[in-house]
Amino acid sequence: MTLRTERPPVRPRSGRRPLPPLIFLLVLAVAAVAVWWYVIGQDNQHVQQQQAACSTAQAAAPSLDPAAVNLRVFNATTTPGLAQTVAASLKERGFVVDEVANDTSGREVTGIGELRHGPRGASAAEYMRLLLPGAGDYLDTRATEQVDVVVGPDFSTLATPEEVAAALGSVANAAAAC
């Protein structure tokens, strides 16, 4: 007599492989993390922009007296006499212009122009930005409050007193909202 041990029959595979659903779930999880990363990043960016706007609104010196602002006006364009014209307009508005000349710094000035100042002249530069909206900012190491107004190739005119007053009003409103 032969003893035969029978093995249980082998179940045929169902044809399901666990790897594709796992890969799909992994891709889905990565996509969810990416979406949340983007949303949180956008929220942080919005908060930073609001904080920057509030700090700018608070940093602007709406009560700054033009007679207390010492300026040097430089021409960084090929238009002769432009710095003299801008300096005359600034003097008419009560600013103290210490020097008028061509820009010899060697820096390339693009756009409307550039405001150069040291840390002590930051509030005066913010005030000057109301007259030259869109001007670049260059912080240097000078120890005085003097601000250099460097006129660029896209300069056309200073902001009118009405535009400056409107900008001061919007800065005051923005500061109140913060």
Classify residue 135 by burial, with Cβ atoms within 10 Å: 0-12, 13-18, 19+. buried
What range does the domain containing 129 cover? Answer: 66-160
Is 88 within a domain? yes
The CATH number given to whatever domain includes residue 136 is 3.30.70
Domains contained in the chain, number: 1
pLDDT per residue over 91-129, tens digit each? 999 999 999 999 999 999 999 999 999 999 998 999 899
Model pTM score: 0.62
Q: Which is more confidently placed, 154 or 41?
A: 154
| Residue 118 maps to a domain | yes
pLDDT tens digits along 47-106: 777 766 665 555 544 457 888 899 999 999 999 999 999 999 999 999 999 999 999 999
Residue 38 lies in a domain: no
Segment holding 39, helix H or strand E: helix 19-59
Within a domain: 28: no
pLDDT tens-digit map of 24-39: 999 999 999 999 988 8
